[in-house]
Amino acid sequence: MCQGDGARHSHSGAGNRWLGEVTVTTVALKDVSKVFADGTVAVDKVNLDVNDGEFMVLLGPSGCGKSTVLRMIAGLEDPSSGAVLLDGELANDIPPRDRRVAMVFQDFALYPHMSVGDNIAFPLRLSGVETASRQERVADVASALGIGDVLARKPSQLSGGQRQRVAMGRAIVRRPGLFLMDEPLSNLDSGLRAELRAEISGLVRELGVSTVYVTHDQAEALTMADRVAIMRKGVLQDVGTPTEVYGRPATLYVAAFLGSPRMNLLEASVYVHLDRYVALNLGEQTLYLPWTDLRARAVSHYHGERIVVGLRAEALTPVAPGSPGDVLQGRIRFLEHHGHESLAYLDIGATAIVVDDLAGTAVEPAGAGGRLRRFGGVMQRLTGRSVGRAAVGEQPAESGPDRESVLSDPGRHHRRPAELAVRLAPYPAVTPGHPLAVSVRMDALHFFDERGDRIDVGWR
């Protein structure tokens, strides 16, 4: 999959008063795979670079392989194939204790019989650091983390946020070259998560230490990361800055995974009028991509075929019925009130494409449709029917039986009536069943082929 180049990040945290001198570690994964003894492929040929001082977030649902990647970087798991490089040196056979890596776990992993001070000092004691130096470093780190007044307490006497700070302190006090964090905030309530993610991102940037952070929470990824690497079933789907992966997702999966509400993904048949426009038939209604739009040339290659058109809620604006321009008409199926805004779900007579394993599980389709349609072979149609290629300027014809995909199956998807998510003002004067027209920002459309890859004129 595509990998964003990403700007090299440099920080001045190496001279931080309470951390001391550190050497920042870079990470490179080259075709790294992990296959467990039972044959389960947890990680499949991942290529990823983490630059000096960069905050890299591995994002994906449970079971996608992100924690396995983290453990291979730490040396807690051996890769089945490929190379793990630290500062350009092969690290596959380097034991964990010699990698200058500090890991923060989901469950904090504190010693319950030790005081906070002893927990933080524990790695220094194992390393043979003298008592006076050890106490000074613990005091400096605890003060910086705001836990200097609880050093004598036991972990059971602390709040969840305080325990997380103790775990962070124990990692920081070692002066590592690399932080590895495995869902460190997932056991905390939402308010405390928001507070601590701001603290953690600010802290590691102050320190200037390279960080690989694993999470399933897109809010953490998009707000904390310098770059985000999105995984699905062991395969790296996309890498880039939060703006890049959100604004130009490389695959249908990434488009569906990022954003709240999720991107509207609609099945569209393509009909080309040369030098005029590309018609995107969404079922009962049609959008027209002008020929002057550079993306029209790329989409025109799919004349007579079906693609997926993605529209985020921010690309849709309610307008008066009959307004000029690119407008979709529909009726409100239901409303969600969120206080600061309302979400209307609009029936426009289109068909939605649903990605099933966004939460880590695949859902069998309802009805008699059988197995989910796949984004696979060239002859596999999103509708489950074979569509012959029409000549440009002719209406696409549909005929013929299904053909099985001859390419890899990147995931299962199914179809259902589309409910277009539209943002409205808080508690609007509309109700379910009310007609609504929305203007579409054509420059904000996303296009994906039947394999789930982005259709575009270029890449970032």
Pick the last residue of a domain from 249, 277, 295. 249
The number of distinct structural domains making up the chain is: 2
Determine whether 427 is exposed, middle or buried from the number of CB atoms within 10 Å of its CB (0-12, 13-18, 19+): exposed
Residue 455: inside a domain, yes or no?
no
Say yes or no: 379 and 330 in one domain: yes
The CATH number assigned to the domain holding 158 equals 3.40.50.300
Residue 236 lies in a domain: yes
Query: Is 1 a domain residue?
Result: no
Q: Residue 190 sits in which domain range?
A: 13-249
Please report whether residue 217 resides in a domain. Answer: yes
The answer to whether 423 and 259 are in contact (CB under 8 A) is no
Give the model's pLDDT for residue 317: 94
Domain boundary (212, 233, 249) is at 249
How would you classify the pairing of strands 342-347 and 420-424? antiparallel
Per-residue pLDDT tens for 50-68?
A: 999 899 999 999 899 999 9
Nearest alpha-carbon partner for 123 in 163, 175, 73, 76: 175
Mean pLDDT of the chain: 81
182 and 319, same domain (yes or no): no
**Residues 274 and 322 grouped into a single domain:** yes
Same domain, 237 and 265: no
Domain boundary among 249, 279, 295: 249
pLDDT in tens, 223-252: 999 999 999 999 999 999 999 999 999 999
Q: Are residues 286 and 386 in the same domain?
A: yes
Based on the domain organization, do 66 and 209 belong to the same domain? yes
* CA–CA dist 73, 277 (Å, integer): 50
Pair (288, 434) in one structural domain = yes
The string of pLDDT tens digits covering residues 248-305 is 999 999 999 999 899 999 999 999 998 899 999 999 899 999 999 989 999 999 999 9
Residues 79 and 222 both lie in one domain: yes
Domain membership flag for residue 5: no
**453 in any annotated domain:** no
**Which residues in the chain show pLDDT less than 50?**
1-15, 17-18, 360-390, 395-412, 459-460
Residues 373 and 346 in one domain: yes
In a domain, 8, yes or no: no
**Helices 131-144/116-126 angle, 10° precision:** 130
- Per-residue burial over 7-19, b = 16 or more CB atoms within 10 Å of its CB, e = otherwise: eebebebbebebb
Does any domain span residue 442?
yes
What confidence score (pLDDT) does residue 15 get? 42
Residues 265, 251 contacting (CB under 8 angstroms): no
Looking at the structure, tell me whether residues 65 and 103 fall in a common domain. yes
Q: Are residues 244 and 261 in the same domain?
A: no
pLDDT score recorded for residue 458: 59
- Confidence (pLDDT) at 191: 74
| Residue-level pLDDT at 252 | 94
Both 242 and 274 in a single domain? no
